[in-house]
A and B are shown apart, each in its own frame.
Chain A
Amino acid sequence: MTTLDSGERRRGSDTRPLITELIDEGTVESIAQEAWISLVGEDEVLVPLPGGPATDPVSSWVDVVGPWTGSVVLTTGRRTAEELTRALLREHSPAVLEEEDVADAFGEIANVVGGNVKAALPGPSGLSLPDVGSAPALRNPADLCRVELQWRGEPVSISVQGALPPLPAPR
């Protein structure tokens, strides 16, 4: 019997996984809670309630490159990022925070959350150094796992978002 190669199998393997097939909001929230307790403080909790848009938002993120490629992005208000920095520095917190301190501390939180998200995804994957600034653009709204939380009453969101645009719809 002759089997015709229709190309279906090849096309099937060409599809990329969406983040929603790989990780859920509960896992991302759990990773964030553990990072907060370890880095920010034992009594510091993230409340799983949407806090609305942040005032003067700032983001920190790391990129994951592998079977799934995208970014793990933390976003909060600049004042909250400064509060987080003071919480991490504790007794070493200076009277006046430098921009460099906030980038270091807020970036390190993204590094810890992102490293643990990466460990929960299929590998092997690479992890970038953290970056701080305006959040990377959302390229594919379907390739997004987002949790909205509050810390000390202020909004903190975590987006695990794909870096690639949607694939063309199959004909």
Chain B
Amino acid sequence: MKILIADDSRVMRQIVIRTLRQAGYDDHDIVEAEDGADALAKVGSEKPDLVLSDWNMPNMTGIECLQALRSSGSAVPFGFVTSEGSPEMRERAANAGALFLIAKPFNEETFQEALSGVIA
């Protein structure tokens, strides 16, 4: 399985990768994107099986990336990993087609709960 991790913070991408491994998802290919526009391009070129994306990023936000993907016909499974976990943000994410929203700060249990039905 190939997982695309989109976050403008390199440090946070590494923390997400580390938490995935701690949660037991340690044998998957990881592709990194540094903003929403990069993620949109890499969904096309890398064909990931899952996108884990930050919300607030320069160039293109995570929600704009998700909307662009759905508009273009892509149904790639998409979840947010973001510092903004309010009910209104969760509703916006779900309405745009996101499978889940993991709020920062998170731990491996948070990842397991969100990903158990998504990653084989």
- Taken together as a complex, chains A and B put the C-alpha atoms of A75 and B12 apart, in Å, by 20
Instruction: Bin chain B's interface residue count.
Output: 20 to 34
Nearest CB on B from A46, distance (A)? 13
- Decide if A104 touches B104 in the complex (CB within 8 Å): no
What 0/1 pattern do residues 74 to 113 of B give for CB contact below 8 A with A?
0000000011111011000000000000011111000000
The residue that A123 contacts in the complex, of B12, B15, B18, B86, with Cβ under 8 A, is B86
- Decide if A129 touches B11 in the complex (CB within 8 Å): no
Instruction: Bin chain A's interface residue count.
Output: 20 to 34
- Decide if A115 touches B84 in the complex (CB within 8 Å): yes
CB-CB under 8 A from A124, the residues of chain B are 88
- Decide if A38 touches B104 in the complex (CB within 8 Å): yes
The residue that A35 contacts in the complex, of B56, B86, B88, B105, with Cβ under 8 A, is B105
- Decide if A115 touches B10 in the complex (CB within 8 Å): no
- Decide if B104 touches A115 in the complex (CB within 8 Å): yes
Residue of B nearest to A108 (CB): B9
CB-CB under 8 A from B82, the residues of chain A are 115
- Taken together as a complex, chains A and B put the C-alpha atoms of A123 and B58 apart, in Å, by 22
- Taken together as a complex, chains A and B put the C-alpha atoms of A112 and B82 apart, in Å, by 8
- Residues of A with Cβ closer than 8 Å to B? 34-35, 37-39, 85, 88-90, 92, 101, 104-105, 107-108, 111-112, 114-116, 118-119, 123-124, 127-129
